[in-house]
Amino acid sequence: EPEVTQTPSHQVTQMGQEVILRCVPISNHLYFYWYRQILGQKVEFLVSFYNNEISEKSEIFDDQFSVERPDGSNFTLKIRSTKLEDSAMYFCASSSRGAEQYFGPGTRLTVT
Amino acid sequence: AQSVAQPEDQVNVAEGNPLTVKCTYSVSGNPYLFWYVQYPNRGLQFLLKYITGDNLVKGSYGFEAEFNKSQTSFHLKKPSALVSDSALYFCAVRDAWSSASKIIFGSGTRLSIRP
């Protein structure tokens, strides 16, 4: 069964550094998303992406964040200058024209 | 604005007993409703969805959920719990108007099944 994959599984970075989180969505899906889950809190929407542009973004997704689909398979989330409060589990998701989204296993980002 | 409420942080059930995990929602239009499950150190796994049609929807691992429009609820149920059902369960809602719409998650309910 096809699934969403994410790399790395755990990323440790120093405050102020740039990080790129990578995702490979399910191959025939058209809609791509990033969510995050701060430890002990609910899953929060960051951004959705369709047809090579951002469809919607939350207030969390400020100028420090960007997304890109550099080729036909990868979908990346970049944080330009990480802050301590960016420490969280980041989930990539994808969907076809159906309702449900399929999530990857997540990347745990730790900012020190 | 859309929202989802899961009133119980934790639900404890004995193995073999029926279980219910509660969820209520608030949306302005027609909702798409979902249940996801999260096992330790794993991502969110899709369990089931309600879009339209029968109010009782069946999903993976023997789970089902009942959509109740008048009570704006979408409770998750299983007739006979297994220890392996122990996990964190999230109710979620999405706008029906756009395929790119974000999913709004509830705060999660930790389900613990004792042998």
Summarised one tens digit per residue, pLDDT across range A64-81 is: 999 999 887 899 999 999
- The confidence score (pLDDT) of residue B45 equals 93
- The total number of structural domains that make up chain A: 1
Percent of chain B exceeding pLDDT 90 equals: 77
Tens digit of each residue's pLDDT (9 = 90 or more) over A9-61:
999 999 999 999 999 999 989 999 999 999 888 899 999 999 899 999 999 99
Pick the residue of A28, A30, A42, A50 with the most B CBs within 10 A to test the interface with B by mutation.
A42
Lowest mean pLDDT among A41-45, B14-18, B27-31: B27-31
Would the CB atoms of A42 and B32 count as touching at under 8 Å? no
For residue A81, the enclosing domain spans 17-95
- In a domain, residue A39? The reply is yes
Domain harbouring A84, CATH code: 2.60.40.10
Round to whole Å and give the CA distance between B73 and B87.
Answer: 21
- In a domain, residue A1? The reply is no
Q: Is A88 on the interface with B (CB under 8 A)?
A: no
Would the CB atoms of A48 and B36 count as touching at under 8 Å? no
Q: Which of B20-29, B51-60, B80-89 has the highest mean pLDDT?
A: B80-89
Averaged pLDDT score across all residues of chain B:
92
Tens digit of each residue's pLDDT (9 = 90 or more) over A84-96:
999 999 999 999 8
Residue by residue, DSSP assigns B31-97 as EEEEEEEE-TT--EEEEEEE-SS-SEEE-GGG-EEEEETTTTEEEEEESS--GGG-EEEEEEEEESS
Round to whole Å and give the CA distance between A49 and A32.
Answer: 5
Backbone φ and ψ of B63, nearest 5°: -80, 150
- In a domain, residue A72? The reply is yes
- In a domain, residue A5? The reply is no
Q: Which CATH superfamily is domain B3-114 in?
A: Immunoglobulins (2.60.40.10)
Q: Is B42 on the interface with A (CB under 8 A)?
A: yes
With 80 as the cut, is the pLDDT of residue B31 above it?
yes
- In a domain, residue A10? The reply is no
With 80 as the cut, is the pLDDT of residue A1 above it?
no
Distance from CA of A83 to the nearest CA of B (A): 23
CA atoms within 13 A on the CB side of B20: 8
Sorted by where each begins, the domain ranges of chain B are 3-114
Higher pLDDT: B84 or B40? It is: B84
Cβ-in-10-Å burial (0-12, 13-18, 19+) of B24 comes to middle
Q: Is B49 on the interface with A (CB under 8 A)?
A: yes
Both structure tokens of A87: 């420490």
